[in-house]
Structure 1
Amino acid sequence: MQHDRSFTRVIQKQVGARYLLFLPEGYGADPAQRWPLILFLHGAGERGSDLSLVKRHGPPRLAEERPADFPFIVVSPQCPEGETWDADVLLALLDEVCATYAVDEERIYLTGLSMGGMGAFDLALTAPHRFAAVAPICGAGNPLRVRPEHAVLPFWIFHGDQDEIVPPAMSAQMVEALRAVGAPVKFTLYPGVAHDSWTQTYANPELYQWFLQHRRHGAATA
């Protein structure tokens, strides 16, 4: 079965979600093959009803520009205007995508920038056993929500040390709280970088290599 690699979907379940979907080269050639998935959460500036805004930054943009470099299914929902990320909506979206496409559910990765970094922290803390690894960028979370069950989930957290929109201390607090319960955490603090710490992060192939080193429940790949 042949698929276009990039297209728009709308789902309506108990909740609704509009999203972009990218399918990697070779998808569908082997019906038995399961593919890793990246769930990308955009920032506040891309909210609304124009899905093209979602491709301004990050994995949906890079997957379209360099499809050969992306061996992932990429799911990029759009948050409605005036709202913030809702964990129930995002989990319903994941359920729909996993039921419809050839997703390797042991290799689902979560990332987001700014408001999306906040959404990534929130979703990871809400459903830690759903993801294999998480990369929040210039985001913030609630360290009081961190519990021992979050120790199963690897994090790579990114922030610019000159960020005046979301202070880097917000990421540092999450790093401290996650490490306190034993979660494997990497923290990259970019010197001299303001709020846009996502451009260099998403352009770095090491991020995607790091994703692929992890499977759900903390079991590293061979």
Structure 2
Amino acid sequence: MKEKALFLLLTSALLFASCSNNEQSSNSDDEPSCQEQTWYQDADNDGFGNEENQLNSCIQPDGYVPNNDDCDDTNNLIHPDAPEVQNNIDDNCDGIIEPAVIECNSDSECAGVCLNNVCVDISTPVPSEFVKHYFTHDLTNINIPYRFFRPQGADTANTEYPLIISLHGSEFFVSPENIFLQGDFATYMALAWIEEGNQEEYPAYVLAPNLNSSIIGENSDYLGWGTNISSDFIEKLLDFIIQNENIDESRIYITGHSTGGVGAWQLGSKMHDKIAAIVPLSNAFTPSSPTFDEVASQIENDIFENLPVWSFNHRADDGSPGSRALFEALSNKGYNTINTHWVDNVEYNLSENDIRTHIEAGEKYFQTEYSYACSNCHYAMDVALKAPLLFEWLFKQKKE
């Protein structure tokens, strides 16, 4: 009897253990599995990792970050968000080394020539791409980055070239500095002007300032091109460029995409004594906005009497009504406005010969609305800046 009781006790214990194990196994199936990812060592603690030292883990290990963008993990002053300084070091990991500044008073002190009290190596070819620089704005003491393109022949004595000022849209106001003009998205407003074919026929300097998220974080008064601080920065940067380059001051133009298109209208009117023409691209105006009222009042005050405009939008874009209203204001002032394709529901459909005839006649105010099929119709620049007649018209415009 005792043996039977002992047998039943052992059987019950085994059944209980089996059930417990099944419950544990079932519960473990409900827990999320570990999702490993690659982490990179950040030895200098600057937020950017070293590609050569990596490990995989479900959680972020101490001293590791999820990116491998650092080009020198022994120096926390060198990383993609660092300001580029003229010190023979690639401070921001973009592959471009700004040569150290050697001050001078005469050519005899330089291996090349002394230009504006700085030694310049005349054997160095002019780059065929944008070069990154910084300009310290005295009102805020912020180093603001800008990209600058110098045309072939820019160093030739007594040869002056036009200047394009290209203003970016809102996507770059909220992006980090190292994102600017990278990839295809929203960059053509600046990159189109330096394409080889365009530079061969219409050589020009191109200036592309960048008011990025760090700058907005330091001083929100930079949020927009038409604010007093932003416009003061552009005016002072322009003066600096004119002093240091062979700029044809009669042919300085402003263009821009979206918010930059609004900026082209605003800064063009504020700087009308220096600007020969503006090219707003998909400007983000609405007729009820304060910025619209600001530009409309400048039109009413005849500021645009000698400021030519060629505006481009897609007719389905939200900014088109703003452009239409501004051109209506120009027309009401007695200016002869030329509509090339559409305006609202009216199709004009001028031929290239028709448009060229207007250009040769010296017309100064052109409005183009496109009607091509598009899923995102806010990028008229992708079509406008491939139109040869725009270049032909723009580079004819001169400030008297």
Distance 1:65 1:51 in 2: 22
Aligned residue in 2 for 1:120: 264
Cα pair 1:138 1:159 within 8 Å, conserved = yes
Identity among equivalent pairs (%): 24
Return the offset for 1:195: 1.1
Match of 1:4 among 127, 134, 157: 127
Distance 1:69 1:76 in 2: 21
Return closer, same or farther for 1:51/1:214 CA change in 2, 3 Å cut-off: farther
Match of 2:316 among 148, 157, 162: 162
Cα pair 2:167 2:189 within 8 Å, conserved = no
- Secondary structure of the corresponding residue to residue 159 of structure 2: coil
Return the offset for 1:13: 3.7
Match of 1:41 among 158, 167, 183: 167
Aligned residue in 2 for 1:84: 224
Cα pair 2:312 2:380 within 8 Å, conserved = yes
- Secondary structure of the corresponding residue to residue 146 of structure 2: strand
Larger strand percent? 1
Match of 1:68 among 190, 200, 207: 200
Return closer, same or farther for 1:108/1:8 CA change in 2, 3 Å cut-off: same
- Secondary structure of the corresponding residue to residue 130 of structure 1: coil
Higher alpha-carbon Rg: 2
Q: Choose between structure 1 and 2 for higher RCO, CA contacts under 8 A separated by at least 6 residues.
A: 1
Distance 2:387 2:162 in 1: 18
Paired letter, 1:84: G
Return the offset for 1:206: 1.9
**Is 1:109 aligned with 2:253?**
yes
Match of 2:298 among 131, 142, 145: 145
Larger helix percent? 1
Paired letter, 2:277: A
Aligned residue in 2 for 1:53: 180
Match of 2:332 among 180, 187, 203: 180
Return the offset for 1:61: 1.8
**Is 1:22 aligned with 2:149?**
yes
Return the offset for 1:45: 1.0
- CA displacement 1:159-204 (0-9 Å, x = unmatched): 11111xx331111111122233355310001124521111011122
What is the Cα-based RMSD across aligned positions, in Å? Answer: 2.1
- CA displacement 1:97-121 (0-9 Å, x = unmatched): 1111110100001100100001111
Greater shift in the superposed pair: 51-60 or 119-128: 51-60
Paired letter, 1:58: Y
Distance 2:240 2:331 in 1: 32
- CA displacement 1:23-46 (0-9 Å, x = unmatched): 112221x21111101000011112
Cα pair 1:179 1:185 within 8 Å, conserved = no
- Secondary structure of the corresponding residue to residue 203 of structure 1: coil
- CA displacement 1:45-79 (0-9 Å, x = unmatched): 12244255235422532345425355010000112
Structure 2 regions of 5+ residues with no counterpart? 1-121, 217-222, 286-291, 336-363
Greater shift in the superposed pair: 43-52 or 183-192: 43-52
Cα pair 2:168 2:257 within 8 Å, conserved = yes
Structure 1 regions of 5+ residues with no counterpart? 218-222
Return the offset for 1:18: 1.5
Greater shift in the superposed pair: 173-182 or 198-207: 173-182
Paired letter, 1:178: L
TM-score calculated relative to the size of structure 1: 0.87
Return closer, same or farther for 1:112/1:43 CA change in 2, 3 Å cut-off: same
Greater shift in the superposed pair: 43-52 or 135-144: 43-52
- Secondary structure of the corresponding residue to residue 216 of structure 1: coil
TM-score calculated relative to the size of structure 2: 0.50
